[in-house]
C-alpha cells in the first residue's frame, strides 16, 4: 500500500513538472539560435552590408567563394554584377570575378540558418572567366568591359546579355558617400543600401541625417529614384544629391540604426513610397 501511494505521488509530481519544462524549451531554443542568426530583413530583401560575405556555392554544394561587392546600374538601380572572390577555389589569390546577377540564385538554408548564393559552375569553366585584381578594378562604367563579361557568361552559361544598361557603379563606393541637397547643404551620408534579390533592384538607400536634423542614431529609407550621383565641381570626388530641405526630412519615415524595420512588409514599403511620392507630386 505504501509503495502504491509512493507511485501515485511520483506520477503527480512528474505531471506538475512537465508543463514547466515544456514552457522553457522554446525560450531556450530561441536564445540558442539568436547569436548565429543572420542579420537581414525577412523575405528576399537584404541589406548590402549583409549581402557582402554571402557564400557562393555550385549546384554540387562546393564552396566557390564569397561576394565582396555589388555593381549596379546608376540610371535604373538594377543590380548587374556581384564581385566574387573565387581565390580559395581556383587558387588565384586576390583576383575577383564580376558575375552577372542573373547567373546567381539566392537560397535560404533553413537547416543551417544561413543564406547562400548558388551558381551553376565548376572549376574548369571558372578558370576561363574574366577576372581582375582586387586592388586594381577595371573601368566598370566601360561598355566594352561589360560586353566582354556578359559575352563570356552568355556563351558559357546561357545568360542573356543586359542590353541597354547604363554605366555601372560599385556599392562599396556609395556607402559613406555624402548626401547634399540642391542648395549644396550637406544632409548626411549613405549608411547602407537595401536590395530586392529576386528583382535585382536597389530599392532604398539607408541615409543618416543625424547631424542635419539632430536626430542621433536614426536612419531614413530613401527610395533609389530620389537620389542621384553627382561629381564634385572642385575635385574628383562624388556625392549624392537629394532634392530636400530640413522641414521636409523632419516628416520623413525613419527608424533606429539598431532596430531596422521589416523592409519586406508591403505596408511599410507603401508608407515610405507614399511619403516620397506625395512630396514629389507637391514639388511639380
Among 140, 218, 206, 203, which residue's Cα sits nearest to residue 179?
Answer: 206
For residue 46, pLDDT over 70 is answered with yes
Q: Which of 13-17, 97-101, 218-222, 272-276 has the weakest average pLDDT?
A: 13-17
The more confidently predicted of residues 76 and 107 is 76
- The set of residues, in sequence order, having a beta carbon less than 8 Å from that of 88 and lying 6+ positions away, is 63, 65
Rounded to an integer, the average pLDDT of 96-125 is 83
Region 216-244: what's the mean pLDDT?
Answer: 86
What residue ranges define each of the domains in the chain, with the CATH number in brackets? 45-169 (2.30.30.240), 175-283 (2.30.30.240)
Cβ(221)–Cβ(194) below 8 Å:
yes
| Residue 97 · residue 127 · CB < 8 Å | no
pLDDT of residue 109: 72
Sequence-ordered list of residues with C-beta below 8 angstroms from that of 257, at least 6 positions apart, any chain: 191, 208, 217, 218, 219
Q: What is the pLDDT of residue 22?
A: 29
Q: What is the mean pLDDT of the chain?
A: 77
pLDDT, position 70: 96
103 within 8 A of 118, measured Cβ to Cβ: no
Whole-number pLDDT of residue 167? 76
pLDDT band at 283 (very low <50, low <70, confident <90, very high): very low
Alpha helix ranges (H) inside 116-240: 123-126, 143-157, 171-174, 210-213
User: Residue 263, Cβ neighbours under 10 Å: how many?
Assistant: 23
First to last CA, the chain: 92
User: Which among 168, 192, 199, 170 has a CA at the least distance from the CA of 48?
Assistant: 192
Amino acid at each position: 500500500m505504501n509503495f502504491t501511494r509512493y507511485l501515485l505521488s511520483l506520477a503527480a509530481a512528474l505531471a506538475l513538472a512537465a508543463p514547466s519544462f515544456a514552457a522553457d524549451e522554446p525560450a531556450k531554443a530561441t536564445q540558442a539560435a539568436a547569436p548565429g542568426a543572420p542579420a537581414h530583413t525577412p523575405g528576399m530583401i537584404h541589406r548590402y552590408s549583409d549581402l557582402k560575405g554571402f557564400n557562393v556555392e555550385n549546384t554540387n554544394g562546393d564552396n566557390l567563394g564569397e561576394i565582396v561587392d555589388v555593381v549596379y546600374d546608376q540610371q535604373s538601380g538594377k543590380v548587374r554584377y556581384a564581385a566574387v572572390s573565387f581565390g580559395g577555389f581556383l587558387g588565384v589569390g586576390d583576383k575577383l570575378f564580376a558575375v552577372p546577377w542573373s547567373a546567381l540564385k539566392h537560397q535560404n538554408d533553413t537547416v543551417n540558418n544561413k543564406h547562400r548564393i548558388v551558381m551553376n559552375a565548376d572549376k574548369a569553366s571558372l578558370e576561363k572567366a574574366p577576372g581582375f585584381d582586387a586592388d586594381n578594378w577595371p573601368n566598370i562604367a566601360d561598355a566594352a568591359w561589360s560586353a566582354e563579361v556578359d559575352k563570356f557568361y552568355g556563351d558559357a552559361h546561357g545568360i542573356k546579355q543586359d542590353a541597354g544598361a547604363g554605366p555601372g557603379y560599385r556599392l562599396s563606393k556609395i556607402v559613406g558617400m555624402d548626401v547634399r541637397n540642391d542648395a549644396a547643404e550637406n544632409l548626411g551620408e549613405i549608411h547602407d543600401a537595401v536590395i530586392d534579390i529576386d528583382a535585382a533592384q536597389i530599392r532604398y538607400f539607408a541615409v543618416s541625417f543625424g547631424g542635419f536634423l539632430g536626430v542621433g542614431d536614426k536612419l531614413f529609407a530613401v527610395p533609389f529614384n530620389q537620389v542621384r550621383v553627382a561629381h564634385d565641381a572642385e575635385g574628383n570626388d562624388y556625392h549624392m544629391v537629394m532634392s530636400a530641405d530640413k522641414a521636409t526630412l523632419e516628416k520623413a519615415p525613419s527608424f533606429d540604426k539598431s532596430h531596422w524595420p521589416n523592409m519586406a512588409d508591403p505596408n511599410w514599403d507603401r508608407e515610405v513610397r507614399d511619403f516620397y511620392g506625395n512630396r514629389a507630386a507637391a514639388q511639380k
